[in-house]
Amino acid sequence: MKILQISASYKPAFIYGGPIMSVSMLCEQLTKAGCEIMVYTTTANGSSELTVTPNQPVNMDGVPVIYFKRITKDHTHFSPALLKSVWQNVKKYDVVHIQAWWNLVSVLSCLIAVWCKVPVVVSARGTLSPYSFQNKNGMIKSLIHRLLTRPLLKRCHIHTTSAYEQSAVDSIIRYKSIATIYNFVKLPVYYSQEQSAIPSPIKLIFLSRIEEKKGLDILLNALGMVKIPFHLTIAGTGNSTYIDQLKSLAIQKNIHDNITWTGFVNDSKFELLQQHHLFVLPSHDENFGNTVIESLSVGTAVLISESVGLADYVEKNQLGWVCQPNQQSVSEAIERITQQHTDLLRIRNSAGPIIRHDFNESRLVNQYLNMYQQIISA
β-pair partners for 47: 45
Interval 184-241: pLDDT, tens? 999 987 665 656 566 679 999 999 999 999 999 999 999 999 999 999 999 999 999 9
CATH annotation of 2-184+360-377: 3.40.50.2000
The CATH fold assigned to 202-358 is Rossmann fold (3.40.50)
Region of 361 (left: φ > 0; alpha: ψ -120 to 50; beta: rest) is: alpha
The per-residue pLDDT for range 141-167, each reduced to its tens digit, is: 777 777 778 899 999 999 999 999 999
Q: What is the pLDDT of residues 289-319, one digit of tens each?
A: 999 999 999 999 999 999 999 999 999 999 9
The answer on pLDDT for 73 being more than 90 is no
Do 2-184+360-377 and 202-358 agree at the fold level? yes
pTM exceeds 0.75 for this model: yes
Cβ 121 vs Cβ 97: under 8 Å: yes
- Domains of the chain, by residue range, sit at 2-184+360-377, 202-358
Helix, strand, coil percentages (3-state) for the chain, rounded to 5, are: 45, 20, 35
Q: What is the four-CA torsion angle of 301, 307, 312, 318, rounded to 10 degrees?
A: 20
